[in-house]
């Protein structure tokens, strides 16, 4: 039997946060079609390094342990000319650096390093408290989807600062749901999914 799609109550608020550069990550052109990645020792975490093409396909995956300062050189000689993205993920943030591969060199634009924060999703028996820090006006789409793929809530915002939402989930029927966050600007897309269950146990992952 099909479930009735419930209407969620929602509270919204935001406050402004100034954007800034990130000294923890640096991507530097190293000649020919190579670049050097530097990670500051202040991170003190294992970080996942990926190189993706403009379609989101992962072409390179590496792990960096930054208990000490990390530096590594990457050679892109075998890649065709085009647009690529280097990402560094530490669990709470993803740093994104666009890289253009030309016939004989790389173009790594200055001041183009972007910091994307992982949303915080806290689920209780009555509500979801959602927080996402945005350092620029990236388009953020938030969706709450049931296990049948039906959207109980969807909205897109371009707030700069802290995006905060509170959802009243008492009207939702028992089952498994996902809170999906989609971030998109002119160059980069990122998706986060948090799964929770309504029933005898309410759990967040």
Which of 79, 112, 145 corresponds to the end of one domain?
Answer: 112
The band of 66, judged by pLDDT with boundaries at 50, 70 and 90, is low
Q: Which residue range is the domain that position 144 belongs to?
A: 9-18+118-204
Burial class (CB in 10 A: 0-12, 13-18, 19+), 128: buried
Looking up residue 82, the CATH number of its domain turns out to be 2.60.40.3080
Distance from C-alpha of 27 to C-alpha of 85, rounded to nearest angstrom: 11
Rg (CA), the chain: 20
Element (H, E) at 132: strand 127-134
CA angle 180, 184, 190 (to 5 degrees): 55
pLDDT for 2: 37
Which residues touch 201 (CB under 8 Å, ≥6 apart)? Answer: none
Which of 112, 143, 172 corresponds to the end of one domain?
Answer: 112
At 138-196, the pLDDT tens digits run 899 999 999 999 999 999 998 888 999 999 999 999 999 999 999 988 777 889 999 99
Q: Distance of CA 159 to CAs 13, 86, 134, 173, 192, Å?
A: 10, 25, 7, 31, 18
30/200: higher pLDDT: 30
At 91-144, the pLDDT tens digits run 888 999 999 999 889 999 988 898 899 999 999 989 999 999 988 878 999 999
Residues 98 and 124 in one domain: no
Which of 74, 96, 112 corresponds to the end of one domain?
Answer: 112
Residues 108 and 126 in one domain: no
pLDDT for 180: 97
Answer yes or no: is 3 within a domain: no
What does residue 3 show for φ and ψ, rounded to 5 degrees?
-85, 150
Residues 197 and 182 in one domain: yes
Name the nearest CA neighbour of 74 among 66, 62, 82, 56.
Answer: 62
What's the pTM?
A: 0.75
**How many structural domains comprise the chain?**
2
Residues 64 and 107 in one domain: yes
Residues 135 and 160 in one domain: yes
Q: Distance of CA 189 to CAs 15, 55, 116, 183, Å?
A: 24, 9, 10, 6
Residues 13 and 58 in one domain: no
Residues 83 and 55 in one domain: yes
Answer yes or no: is 2 within a domain: no
CA angle 95, 98, 102 (to 5 degrees): 150
* Count of residues making up the chain: 205
C-alpha of 56 from chain center: 13
């Amino acid at each position: 039997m099909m479930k009735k799609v419930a209407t969620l109550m929602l509270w919204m608020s935001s406050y402004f946060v100034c954007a800034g550069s990130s000294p923890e990550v640096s991507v530097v052109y190293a000649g020919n079609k190579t670049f050097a990645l530097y990670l500051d020792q202040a991170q003190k975490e294992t970080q996942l390094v990926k190189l993706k093409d403009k379609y989101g396909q992962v072409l390179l995956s590496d792990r960096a342990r930054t208990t000490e300062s990390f530096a590594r050189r990457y050679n892109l000689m075998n890649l065709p000319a085009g647009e690529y993205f280097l990402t560094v993920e530490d669990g709470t943030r993803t740093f994104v650096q666009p890289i253009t591969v030309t016939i004989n060199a790389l173009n790594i634009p200055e001041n183009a390093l972007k910091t994307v924060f992982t949303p915080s999703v806290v689920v209780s028996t009555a509500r979801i408290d959602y927080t996402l820090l945005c350092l620029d006006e990236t388009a953020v789409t938030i969706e709450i989807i049931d296990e049948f793929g039906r959207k109980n809530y969807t909205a897109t915002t371009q707030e700069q600062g802290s995006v905060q939402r509170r959802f009243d989930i008492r009207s939702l029927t028992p089952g498994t749901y996902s809170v999906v966050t989609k971030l998109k600007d002119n160059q980069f897309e990122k998706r986060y999914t948090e799964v929770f269950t309504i029933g005898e146990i309410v759990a967040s992952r």
